[in-house]
Amino acid sequence: MTGEELLEKFKEYLEIEKGYSGHTLRNYISDIELFFDYLKSKKIEVLSEDDLNRLEPIDIRGFLASRFRINKSSSTQRRLSAIKTFYRFLLKRALITNNPSEIITSPKVDKSLPKAISVDEVFALIHSIPNDNVLSLRDRAMVELMYGSGLRVSELTAINVSDLDIKNGTLRVLGKGKKERIVPVGSYASQSIDEYLARRHELIKKDTEALFLNKSGQRISTRSVARVIKKYLTTCAINKNVSPHTLRHSFATHLLGSGADIRFIQELLGHSSLSTTQRYSKASIEHLMQVYDKSHPHAR
């Protein structure tokens, strides 16, 4: 197979067998394309799988080193992960016998703490969204649901009407790796969704299961959701960089601050590892210390 054919098969593998999100899939394919370009610059053409079979660890390290000044360590880690996954795919398909990536260790990454906004800022954002037309009703329902249930933006846009159980206040969510979980839907989010559903038909151009639609009647994209939030940030004069993921972080931080158990939060967020959720605990403690330093007369 040619390099292009290998990439196409790899893409199918990531999407169908691994169940990777569209975002991760695009990044991995882009990383392998960059790797191929680097090899080409070193006079190594990837014309077939045999060319990849002949590579050595130094070729992969050279690629990672060539991107070191351009990228953060987290990007370098992801690029190595993409290459390792690519080689595992090739081995699984018996297209190669040699895997030069297996002895290369990932660089250590300083994990940044999740950013969150205050409860008052979340309320200000929600209350800045009017309820005078179907699009604004949709926007309020989306923001309420992201914050109220701690959803990833990709999970939000993937919701179908049939995933909702408003009567019992629950939602079926398909998370990373196509792992399904049930999350609660709060009363405010339920009310906003009900109001939107009453007028959702105004957006429908053809039969669709998607819950949240754009003005063309198609499933709304993750980028469009980000633009919606940015629009209302301006309206309520919150001068911060707030993304859809910030609402998810705020959901977890506010729950933790109210005394919720860390494992309960892990379950709601759909984290496979508790260590991922524990970052919120560290962020909450750091915030607590900042407030203490500013407020207590004997803090300094």
Q: What is the pLDDT of residues 155-208, one digit of tens each?
A: 999 999 999 998 899 999 988 877 889 999 999 999 999 999 999 999 998 889
Q: How confident is the model at residue 288 (pLDDT cuts 50, 70, 90)?
A: very low
Question: Which residue among 84, 88, 172, 176 is the active-site one?
Answer: 176
Q: CB 251: neighbour CB atoms within 10 A?
A: 22
Domains along the sequence of the chain with CATH: 3-92 (1.10.150), 119-295 (1.10.443.10)
Nearest to 88 by CA among 2, 17, 35, 4: 17
CA separation for the pair 262, 267 (Å, rounded): 9
Mean pLDDT score, 35-53: 89
pLDDT given for residue 107 in this prediction? 66
Check residues 284 and 214 and name the one with the higher pLDDT.
214
Q: Is 245 marked active-site?
A: yes
Do the strands 170-174 and 180-184 form a parallel or antiparallel pair, or are they unpaired? antiparallel
Q: Is 152 marked active-site?
A: yes
Q: Is the pTM for the entire model greater than 0.75?
A: no
Q: At what angle do helices 262-269 and 244-257 cross, to 10 degrees?
A: 160
Question: Which residue among 78, 79, 248, 254 is the active-site one?
Answer: 248
Q: Is 280 marked active-site?
A: yes
pLDDT given for residue 105 in this prediction? 82
Q: Report whether pLDDT(295) > 60.
A: no
User: Helix (H, G, I), strand (E, B), or coil: what is residue 205?
Assistant: coil
Mean pLDDT score, 15-37: 90
Count CA within 13 A, CB hemisphere, residue 264: 10
CA separation for the pair 170, 173 (Å, rounded): 10
pLDDT by residue (tens digit) across 121-168? 999 999 999 989 999 999 999 999 999 998 999 999 999 999 999 889
Cα 46 from chain centroid? Answer: 31
- The residue with tokens 């991760």 is 24
Mean pLDDT score, 210-226: 95
CA separation for the pair 262, 278 (Å, rounded): 7
Q: Is 249 marked active-site?
A: no
Mean pLDDT score, 5-32: 90
Question: Which residue among 79, 152, 200, 249 is the active-site one?
Answer: 152
